[in-house]
Chains A and B, each alone.
Chain A
Amino acid sequence: MDVDSVSSSPPLRQSSLPPSSAPVASQSSNGRSTPRRIRPSGRGSDALNLGDDEAEEVPDGDDAGARRRRRPRGQGQLNADVPIVKDAVGESVQESFETFLRTFTEEIALASTPASDGGVPVAPDGELIYIEQIHTMREYELTTLYVDYGHLLQKDDVLADAIQKQYYRFLPYIRRALHNLVAQYEPEYLKLNPTAAATDSVNLQSREFNVAFYHLPLVSGIRDLRTDKIGTLMSISGTVTRTSEVRPELLYGSFICEVCGGLVNEIEQQFKYTEPSLCPNPTCGNRTAWQLQIDSSKFTDWQKVRIQENPSEIPTGSMPRSLDVILRSELVERAKAGDKCVFTGTFIVVPDVSQLGLPGGNKAELMREAAKAGANSAAAAVGGAGVTGLKSLGVRDLQYKTAFLACMVHDVDGHAGTNVRGEDEQGEDDSEAFARSLTEPEFEELKRMVNSDHIYSRLVESIAPTVYGHDIVKKGLLLQLMGGVHKQTPEGMHLRGDINICIVGDPSTSKSQFLKYICSFLPRAVYTSGKASSAAGLTAAVVKDEETGDFTIEAGALMLADNGICAIDEFDKMDISDQVAIHEAMEQQTISIAKAGIHATLNARTSILAAANPIGGRYDRKKSLRANVAMTAPIMSRFDLFFVVLDECNEKSDLNIAKHIVNVHRFQDEAIHPEFSTEALQRYIRYARTFTPKLTPEAADVLVEKYRILRQDDASGTGRNSYRITVRQLESMIRLSEAIARANCTSEIKPAFVREAYTLLRQSIIHVEQDDIDFDEEELEGEREGERRPRATADDVEESQDVEMSAAEIAAMDEAEQSYNESMGLNGAGSSGLNGATSDGISRAGSMAPNAPPPPQPKRRMVITHDKYMTLQSLIVFHLAQVERETGKGVDRDELIDWYLETKEEDIQDVEELEYEKELITKMLRKLVKDNYLIEIRGDVQDSLPESMEESSGQPSMDSQDGNFRVYYMVHPSVDTEGSSSVP
């Protein structure tokens, strides 16, 4: 028993061991220990599933005692000479674990050199991290060794498995292994007070050491804890709801017999107050009268925390489960209320002694009473204290409680480990872990989804199935659910991966439905209304606790939605000052509080899905997005995507909407057949989120190019942007590309994904602002070149183009001055180079063709969608560029119109349509000129210049000049055909 002798020292004041797992029992200490012995029961299986076959009987085995002792009531008071089971497996675990600690280095390949066999710590090149840690423990006076379970798995998976499966059984051996190592490397550190040891051996105090495991591959929820998990090593995660004060816990008690005055040492406490059951003095026979000797008993720090299930793990409609976690020694005060923590340790069952506590009574007294009652019954002598005789206390049947004995606790870092959204830096590893958590059919379904074609568009169709149409918004929502990749720069700056979306639109379109869908879809989503919530309600408030007077921080919606989505309805109704308050949350993903002496930065890693009503109730297409929404530009720029949903009065869509609503009422859920169920979608998204997509070089090139185009559009002023295109939009595009890659379950961002991201971005931020191109509206703003052609007016859109100037036209004159000034400035900047037309247009010819046929307009209003405008623009520019390259000349206007009408020939069915198209192209050309895509040459180059000068004054006379000039068009020098023609 040389191992035992190390710690079977006289009573110690301080101990950090859980009593039940102390490696060494007390009884070797000077023969005065109590006749307390574990009954070597024939029952082979206890809660730890110990088999008798793996244990041999030896006359004396404190080891076995240690493991048997976990039965709170199984410990009998039997004769000392009854043979006790010795756990041979335990011994070998101890040996292997010791070897592991002795030899482990990060470089696994080097660790298995033959020289390391002999138990001699032959250090390979790598650092012996655990030996180092033992030295550090001494330096900083720590008693806990932290062991990465991953290392254990890597080095010795048999050992790792054994420890995991029967943690409670092997715990004493693991600790003894550590003890031995400390004895070897830091022998001085074993004793708490080495100098005093020489003089006073009774008070010599030895340290108790703990081993804390962390990084277990799987983290379970509280709900998963079942009786079959008892005694195994596992990690659970939960939110700490309250913590007890730190108190001393009695590990080993020393008692003085009140009858004969004898001292009884090292009475191990088993989750309850345990007195010696019989005085060792053969003549005494005292069973009940004991006095605890506080100075010679061993105590440890003890704290109990209550944890509650994480919101994401609770099945719908169920209440959160709670569990007690016992923290000891150095782990106390590590977990604070409100923290989301992961605890590693073991699930245990303990008798519910708290039942014995009756209000107002002296509990210890009652315990003693109970013990007395038990002692009086001969048959109950085995029970020790506190179990028998309960009846006299009014307890009917003893109940058992579950608790979690933790050896390690750490905060959940938001984006690692057990993130609710399954986010993890470790990529593939984690997706495997997620896949493992699925049932077979779920896994099969997921596999089918991942491997199927066009998964992206099919997923989009399954999003928010109750809402009819609005596919582009659904796309955005899907990407928001997928999210981009969170990154951290080497300087430690966090780059958000969350995608913020704002939906703007007319009342009673489906904005709120989208928001509600997201909230029902994602467990960690909070729905709130901008009208009802102040900034404090959204972010966090400092609240004074009325009882204690302490200030505490109360979580707001954004914090509640940490790692989820915060859906804010009626965003525009929020005070501007409140909108500003969430700036920080949107970009930095944190919330700072400085109030009542509290300075705190709290995590709010949430995506924001906002819905806003336009100013004045309806979206005014004539105005820019910015003018339509009551939002400041900085806030707007923090949204990655803006969507405008309009209440279009259109017979066909009305019918579709009606059909949709009626069907919902007719068939309820059967009316909506999303291809994938909500659950399947949730699983897919969780799986997809395990990917961390990276840009391929080709995709990076595309990204750069697209960004350049965006910037250029911005700079050239073609888009009436609400805000400038900045790096923020570049980041948005990266995030969107990442999300698209995730939606496709791949970790490579392909050029196609970037293109899709670009399209989305254009369609939202740019398209939306430009909105539909309303030529009638355009004309109100005046023309740059002052060119006058017969055309329809804003008031009279149905008429053909042969209409003379109308009153509206004249009204436009007012604006002309202003736009003239603007365009002159731009023109000066743009016309410096003449190379624009030469770049390759041919390669893009294919991509343009499918876009060409525009959908017939419901009414012959001179409005086309921005998409169509861009298509036409690239068509014309490309054509002109080609002609220019071939002939070096511009194209005559009439020729150009004819050419255009030819390309449209198939779509034009009647004269009316022909007229429409003709008018359209005319206006189109005019707009292109105005926007510096084309230059207009009248007769010859010289003629065009003076005309622009006379614009502001000479309007009324322009029409008369019309017939006298042949008008040519050329591509404006500043236009890059690559850029403008790549519009999808």
Chain B
Amino acid sequence: MHGPNNTMKCLRDPTATLHDLYNDPNGTSHDNFPRLVAEHYTQIFHTSEAFREIPSLDIRSPPTTFPDRSLVRFRAMVQDTSPSSEMYLARSPYGKCGGWGIELTEEENGEVDYTNLRECNVLWAVSVPAESAWCAEELDGSQTRSASGSTSAYLPQHSHKFPHPTLPHIGVQVKIYDTDSAEKLKSTDIVTFVGILTTESSISLSYSPADLLTARTSVSSTGTGLESRDEVPTLHVLYIREHTATLLSRPYPSTATPDADEHSAPAKVRSELISWMAEEALGGDREAAEWMLLASIARVQSRSPPLLPPSLNLTHFPSPSPTPSTTDAPPTFLPTLSTVLAQILPLTHTLPLSLDVLNKDAFVPESKEEDLHAGVLQLPQGTVLLVTEGGVHEGKLVEQGILNVHALQEVMNTQTLAYKFPFSQFSFPTDISCIVVSEGSKSALFRTNISVPLTAPKDPEAIARLYKPVEDIKLPSAERLAAFRDLLVGARAGKVHVSEETSEYIQRDFVRQRQQDRSVTSDDLIRRMSIAKLYALSLHETELTVDVWERAKAFDERRRAACASTTTSSATV
């Protein structure tokens, strides 16, 4: 039944297959037809080959490049689930299938049986923010159709609904007929929608009878109840394909056995990765690179009890030396670190802070006029966020700026982001590992769990190397790069077990330390515990051994010593 022919037909004319399915004599009940549809299509495109056949909607092939009612897949982040659901006629008077934007001909449109009305959920989805190019490539597969010429011209609609409006992206209105699966979707979830692409008027505000009536009786009806409603791309979802938490999947622990191939052992790869990061982006500071590695594999392990990714502050990171040519407008140079992270992490975003950005940009999503505007921090779960403070100069932080700083601090502390709604705000869970790069001995704006001083040469030439352009980065061989990625992505998904023996050891260790030094608190233990686990993850160990614990502890102690020596006064931790 589900042969290649069927697949082809689905691809060619999804609407017709929908009708076929509806009229299928075997399908006796239409009680939960949307569910049936979802199951049917999941079945058809079960194999990854078949799935890849579906053309992908992305920046390279924006909605305008598809004919009306094409079958597309759209890997997207759910941005706004607040629009009210819509009602649609699930069955036309003549027994035809309704929904999915299927037009009812005029004959059928005459009368409505209200019992055939069904609910469909409407939401807004955008292309995945913070997604690295290599990750997109891997998920989309080698795109055969590439209308690269016209893509730059694509102007996305409702770009206020994308966290970083200036970057190229796509925003699509999504209608989901299988309401059960729609209920599960939350803001910042990443899923792939497979459905029929049409163009429709945007999320409608509401019904307003008097607007029409008063159009006759009063002249001034402009802008009162009816919003301007432009046509937006709309995806009528057939089924939803979910992704793993890391978006990509890599084995953990790495499949390579240490003795079989010395070259691909995690420890070796890890060491090479650290060297590469240190060399390319951190002025050769391996210690800082190692911390960077740990921070970028951290994630929320549990919310209750809270085991959150530690936030990292890379201090003493020099600001870019001003280049003589552009003096009037302070340029915001991104450290090379940003590019390096993008090369190895599937989801990473760099947020170059400046007073302007802080005071003007919205970090927090806010619902205005029933429309949820995205905020810079509305990022998918599992994003590594690099915050640079190099662009912050003297000036005034206005209210918006304070709120923004507060929001980012809240993300670091509790991994929640409070979206603003009229008269209230609601916290949504986030999973964003934050790395703050600051020039001073500690971050000017944020309190982080861990701070690491960068010990790199500070001569102008060395500083310039920290900000060297993309072209100058020496990429490792494709094979090594893949190994780096495997290590990181695998570690992000990994799990470390703490044995009875190790925990006994750690406990005794703590009690002994407390007795020696009263300033050691339980917070120290909590921090060390999470560092040790990250350390084990970075080695692709499945178990936290005493050896790793001691190494991690020493590692942490080195950092504290470095902090203490670089700052006379207040080291954060």
Contact = CB atoms under 8 A, between A and B. Distances in A.
A543 B113 CA distance: 50
Contacts of B429: 316-317
A323 B370 CA distance: 11
Given A227-B117, A665-B533, A397 B214 contact: no
Given A292-B216, A401-B204, A466-B306, A319 B426 contact: yes
Interface residues of B, number: 92
A691 to B, nearest CB: 28
Of listed B206, B210, B231, B503, residue having the most chain A CB within 10 A: B210
A241 B422 contact: yes
A698 interface: no
B422 to A, nearest CB: 4
Interface stretch (B218-226, B285-293, B337-345): B218-226
Contacts of A184: none
B138 interface: no
B522 to A, nearest CB: 5
Given A74-B112, A306-B370, A321-B82, A400 B421 contact: no
A806 B229 CA distance: 89
Interface in B114-142: 114-115, 117-119
Given A73-B111, A401-B207, A357 B119 contact: no
B304 A349 contact: no
Contacts of B208: 244, 304, 353-354
Contacts of B498: 662, 665-666
B207 A324 contact: yes
Given A45-B115, A338-B423, A669 B304 contact: yes
Of listed B115, B205, B231, B305, residue having the most chain A CB within 10 A: B305
Given A73-B112, A250-B217, A272-B209, A352 B204 contact: yes
A535 to B, nearest CB: 16
Contacts of B66: none
Contact of B87 (A390, A400, A663): A400
B525 interface: yes
B558 interface: no
Contact of A396 (B82, B198, B221): B198
A661 B498 CA distance: 12
Given A377-B106, A399-B87, A401-B84, A362 B215 contact: yes
Contacts of A294: 217
Nearest to A271: B209
Interface stretch (A55-63, A381-389, A579-587, A595-603): A381-389
B279 interface: no
B229 A355 contact: yes
Interface in A332-374: 337-338, 349-360, 362-364, 367
Contact of A357 (B118, B200, B229, B529): B229
B98 interface: yes
A516 interface: yes
B304 A354 contact: no
A241 B533 CA distance: 46
A508 B522 contact: yes
B268 interface: no
A823 interface: no
B88 interface: yes
B406 to A, nearest CB: 6
A304 B228 CA distance: 18
Interface string A807-820: 00000000000000
A288 to B, nearest CB: 15
A939 interface: no
A363 B229 CA distance: 13
A96 interface: no
Interface stretch (B147-155, B513-521, B559-567): B513-521
Task: Please report whether the interface of chain A is mostly helix, strand, loop or mixed according to DSSP.
Answer: mixed
Interface in B417-455: 419, 421-426, 428-429
B301 interface: yes
Nearest to A323: B84
Contacts of A364: 212, 215-216
A269 B414 CA distance: 53
A658 B511 contact: yes
Nearest to A381: B110
Contact of B213 (A249, A362, A394): A249
A260 interface: no
Contacts of B89: 397-398, 400
Contact of A302 (B210, B231, B301, B414): B210
A322 B84 contact: yes
Nearest to B533: A665
A74 B216 contact: no
A436 interface: no
A294 B216 CA distance: 9
Contact of B304 (A271, A351, A508, A520): A520
A54 interface: no
Interface in B189-211: 198, 200-201, 204-211
Given A320-B82, A387-B109, A396 B230 contact: no
Given A358-B229, A647-B521, A379 B201 contact: no
A721 interface: no
Contact of A657 (B206, B230, B522): B522
A350 B106 CA distance: 19
A447 interface: no
Contacts of A804: none
A245 B208 CA distance: 12
A337 B369 CA distance: 13
B285 to A, nearest CB: 28
Given A357-B226, A388-B106, A669 B510 contact: no
B520 to A, nearest CB: 9
Interface string A215-248: 0000000000011001000000001011011011
Given A292-B216, A396-B103, A665-B498, A354 B511 contact: no
A74 B113 CA distance: 8
Contacts of B503: 659, 662-663, 666
Contacts of B102: 397
B547 interface: no
Contacts of A388: 106, 109-110
A53 interface: no
Contact of A359 (B80, B225, B228, B507): B228
B423 A319 contact: no
A577 interface: no
A649 interface: yes
B507 A658 contact: yes
B206 A403 contact: yes
A247 B214 contact: yes
B212 A380 contact: no
Contacts of B243: none
A386 B89 CA distance: 17
Nearest to A513: B306
A397 B104 contact: yes
A395 B231 CA distance: 10
A391 B518 CA distance: 78
B41 to A, nearest CB: 21
B57 interface: no
B302 interface: yes
11 contacts: A230-B114, A242-B422, A317-B428, A319-B80, A349-B117, A354-B225, A465-B305, A651-B514, A655-B508, A659-B503, A669-B304
Given A230-B114, A349-B117, 12 more contacts: A308-B421, A320-B426, A337-B422, A357-B226, A359-B230, A397-B101, A401-B86, A516-B414, A647-B521, A655-B510, A658-B522, A668-B302
9 nearest A-B residue pairs (beta carbon): A400-B87, A47-B114, A359-B228, A241-B422, A466-B305, A658-B507, A658-B510, A508-B521, A319-B82
Interface of B: 80-82, 84-89, 98, 101-104, 106-107, 109-115, 117-119, 186-187, 198, 200-201, 204-218, 221, 224-226, 228-231, 301-302, 304-307, 370, 372, 406, 414, 419, 421-426, 428-429, 497-498, 503, 506-508, 510-511, 514-515, 518, 521-523, 525-526, 529-530, 533
